[in-house]
């Protein structure tokens, strides 16, 4: 079992206080510059800063169990005074896990300060002495220069063609291939500016920031509130139209597409198989709905359930990752194909990102439409589900449409 002194070198548990506060207004506007954390949708959620505790999660198949035990020691042994008593109050940890279990880079952080608003209530959580951090206006990064990532556009199209060939051979049914793009700014990139632009333009998405990974994901991997869990499965994509009629036609075409409907079915079934052993009740819609975002439209299926044994949100994350929506079908074969063809380390892209509190409640998304930020540099990511009838040029166009989310965040 972990002890706080062993895990952190601390001589005593964390001292945490949560107090109810008045409406803070724009949560993102309250963030100081240094290393902000965020999970925002429709203006509600959590923002945080500072680090009371931080750990690099060791890679390997047992990483989620290791993380759960570390969190149990840190959050469970904290001395907590919590006026709010709601999901997200008391001690909270933000986390980002790499897509590949064998890759380094997964991290958990307990911030020093958390400011939150949900369902008409707002609260402030501090760890140790209250910290007042200077809030300065976000700085513009200046001109952005883009470059190829691990593969050029023609090389990535070739990788798609190779994946299609393997799918048609019967080796697998679906593989999700990701593409990266590099960006270099004139000045250091202020994460707060990206968060503000993303939250404003994509209010239906979950705008997140954790350890330099910043984005706005449309895909909720899991939300746990007590015994209740929710997930939103996305698979099947088309870009927005140039007019309302074109837009409607594209949405109708997506809904009628055998390729996209089958891709969506694979993703839904992977979630059903992961959640069924954990749930006493599980509700999965028989038909998807259309999720319309400013840049693309998705086939979407909201899934709900009731946990059977009180598993924490991180236990559910461990069971679900990777879904077919970001890996493929069957999972193990798809992961082998990804390693063979992508030519890159995905890092946190398509991995779980979110937060968890001491009750085991929390919200975790799949890190899509995101970038890894370091100083003036950014690495942008996008991915596409490849099926047997996928066209490489069309998949490249879809990836470029998804990359525009973070290009907009950088350029405004």
CB neighbour list of residue 275: distance below 8 Å, 6 or more residues apart: 229, 231, 282, 303, 305, 316, 319, 320
Under 8 Å between Cβ of 364 and 222: yes
The residue-averaged pLDDT of 330-355 equals 95
Give yes or no for residue 2 having a pLDDT over 50. no
pLDDT value, residue 259: 87
Per-residue confidence at 143, pLDDT binned at 50, 70, 90? Answer: very high
pLDDT value, residue 230: 95
Task: Give pLDDT tens digits for 358-377.
Answer: 999 999 999 999 999 999 99
The residue-averaged pLDDT of 306-334 equals 92
CA 177 to chain centre: 17
Q: How far apart are CA 27 and CA 152, in angstroms?
A: 39
The residue-averaged pLDDT of 261-280 equals 91
Placement of tokens 């992977």 in the chain: 270
Placement of tokens 């190829």 in the chain: 148
The residue-averaged pLDDT of 171-190 equals 96
pLDDT value, residue 50: 94
pLDDT value, residue 131: 67
- Could you give the residue numbers annotated as active site? 174, 219
Per-residue confidence at 5, pLDDT binned at 50, 70, 90? Answer: very low
Of the chain, the percentage scoring pLDDT greater than 90 comes to 84
Mean pLDDT of the chain: 93
Task: Give pLDDT tens digits for 38-85.
Answer: 999 999 999 999 999 999 999 999 999 999 999 999 998 999 999 999
Q: How far apart are CA 221 and CA 321, in angstroms?
A: 8
pLDDT value, residue 1: 40
Between 234 and 209, residue with greater pLDDT: 209
Give the bridge partners for 229, in sequence order. Answer: 224, 305
pTM of the model: 0.92
Q: How far apart are CA 186 and CA 37, in angstroms?
A: 24
Q: How far apart are CA 19 and CA 90, in angstroms?
A: 9
Q: How far apart are CA 162 and CA 345, in angstroms?
A: 19
Under 8 Å between Cβ of 275 and 320: yes
The residue-averaged pLDDT of 128-136 equals 77
Under 8 Å between Cβ of 365 and 206: yes
């Amino acid at each position: 079992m972990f002890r706080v002194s062993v895990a952190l070198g601390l001589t005593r548990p964390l001292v945490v206080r949560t107090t109810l506060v008045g409406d803070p207004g724009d949560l993102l506007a309250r963030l100081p510059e240094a290393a902000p954390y965020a999970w925002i949708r429709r203006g509600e959620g959590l923002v945080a800063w500072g680090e009371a505790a931080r750990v690099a999660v060791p890679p390997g198949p047992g990483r989620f169990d290791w993380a759960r035990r570390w969190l149990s020691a840190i959050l469970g042994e904290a001395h907590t005074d919590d006026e709010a008593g709601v999901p997200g109050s008391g001690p909270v940890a933000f986390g980002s896990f790499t897509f590949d279990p064998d890759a380094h880079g997964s991290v958990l952080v307990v911030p020093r300060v958390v400011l939150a608003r949900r369902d008409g209530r707002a609260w402030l959580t501090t760890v140790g002495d209250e910290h007042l951090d200077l809030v300065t206006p976000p700085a513009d990064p200046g001109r952005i220069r883009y470059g190829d990532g691990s593969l050029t556009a023609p090389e990535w199209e070739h990788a798609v063609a190779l994946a299609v060939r393997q799918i048609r051979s019967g080796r697998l049914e679906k593989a999700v291939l990701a593409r990266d793009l590099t960006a270099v700014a004139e000045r250091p990139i202020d994460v707060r500016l990206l968060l503000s632009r993303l939250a404003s333009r994509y209010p239906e998405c979950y705008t997140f920031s954790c350890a330099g990974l910043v984005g706005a994901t449309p895909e909720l991997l899991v939300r746990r509130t007590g015994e209740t869990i929710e997930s939103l499965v996305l698979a099947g994509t088309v870009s927005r139209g140039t007019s309302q009629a074109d837009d409607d036609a594209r949405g109708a075409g997506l809904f009628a597409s055998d390729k996209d409907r089958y891709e969506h079915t694979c993703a839904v079934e992977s979630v059903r198989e992961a959640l069924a052993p954990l749930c006493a009740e599980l509700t999965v819609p028989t038909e998807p709905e259309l999720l319309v975002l400013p840049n693309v439209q998705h086939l979407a299926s909201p899934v709900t359930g009731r946990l059977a044994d009180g598993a924490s949100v991180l236990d559910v994350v461990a069971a679900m990752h990777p879904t077919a929506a970001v890996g493929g079908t069957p999972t193990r074969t798809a992961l082998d194909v990804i390693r063979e063809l992508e030519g890159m380390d995905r890092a946190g892209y398509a991995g779980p990102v979110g937060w968890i509190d001491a009750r085991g409640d929390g919200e975790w998304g799949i890190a899509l439409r995101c970038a890894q930020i370091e100083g003036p540099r950014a690495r942008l990511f996008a991915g596409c589900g490849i099926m047997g009838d996928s066209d490489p040029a069309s998949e490249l166009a879809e990836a470029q449409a998804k990359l525009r989310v973070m290009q907009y965040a950088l350029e405004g």
